[in-house]
């Protein structure tokens, strides 16, 4: 069964500090991996998308890494800001020949950045 596991479930850090969120998956065949940011009361917004051949991608202070061999990804946030407080969701896409791309969602990591 395709699964996406995220850790930690929640995290509290001080403003200005760095943090790393983890995503392990068992999805096969792998197509791509996405990280989304979801602010409270809003829909998820895409941060990065990585395909099999990409092992790192940055979006401002957000850097995602992908190790397709170990089926692990991480999202590193540099110099955190209060506005980074949100849920971060890892989504792994499987190639599905019948109906396009099947998405597998992690449960998310809830990040709180405090002053």
Partner 1 sequence: NAGVTQTPKFQVLKTGQSMTLQCAQDMNHNSMYWYRQDPGMGLRLIYYSASEGTTDKGEVPNGYNVSRLNKREFSLRLESAAPSQTSVYFCASSDLLPQYFGPGTRLTVT
Select 46 or 56, whichever has its Cβ closest to partner 1.
46
CA dist 74 and 6 (Å) reads: 9
Binding residues vs partner 1 (CB under 8 A): 32, 34, 41-46, 49, 89, 99-101, 103, 105-108
Enter the tokens of residue 81.
């800001």
Q: CB–CB of 66/54 below 8 Å?
A: yes
Q: Rounded to 5 degrees, what angle do the CA atoms 12, 14, 20 make? A: 60
Enter the tokens of residue 44.
């998820």
Select 9 or 115, whichever has its Cβ closest to partner 1.
9
Closest CB 32 distance from partner 1, rounded Å: 7
Select 23 or 77, whichever has its Cβ closest to partner 1.
23
Select 13 or 103, whichever has its Cβ closest to partner 1.
103
Closest CB 22 distance from partner 1, rounded Å: 15
Q: Rounded to 5 degrees, what angle do the CA atoms 1, 44, 92 make? A: 25
Closest CB 26 distance from partner 1, rounded Å: 15
Q: With the C-alpha atoms ordered 37, 34, 6, 103, is the resulting torsion angle positive or negative?
A: positive
Closest CB 4 distance from partner 1, rounded Å: 8
């Amino acid at each position: 069964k395709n699964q996406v596991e995220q850790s930690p479930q929640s995290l509290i850090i001080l403003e200005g500090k760095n943090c790393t969120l983890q995503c392990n998956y068992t999805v096969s065949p792998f197509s791509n991996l996405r990280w989304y940011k979801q602010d409270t009361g809003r829909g998820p917004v895409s941060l990065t998308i990585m395909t099999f051949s990409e092992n790192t991608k940055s979006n401002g202070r957000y850097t995602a890494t992908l190790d397709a061999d170990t089926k692990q990804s991480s999202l590193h946030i540099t110099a955190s800001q209060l506005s980074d407080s949100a849920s971060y969701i890892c989504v792994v896409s499987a190639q599905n020949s019948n109906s396009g791309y099947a998405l597998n969602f992690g449960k998310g990591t809830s990040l709180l950045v405090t002053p």
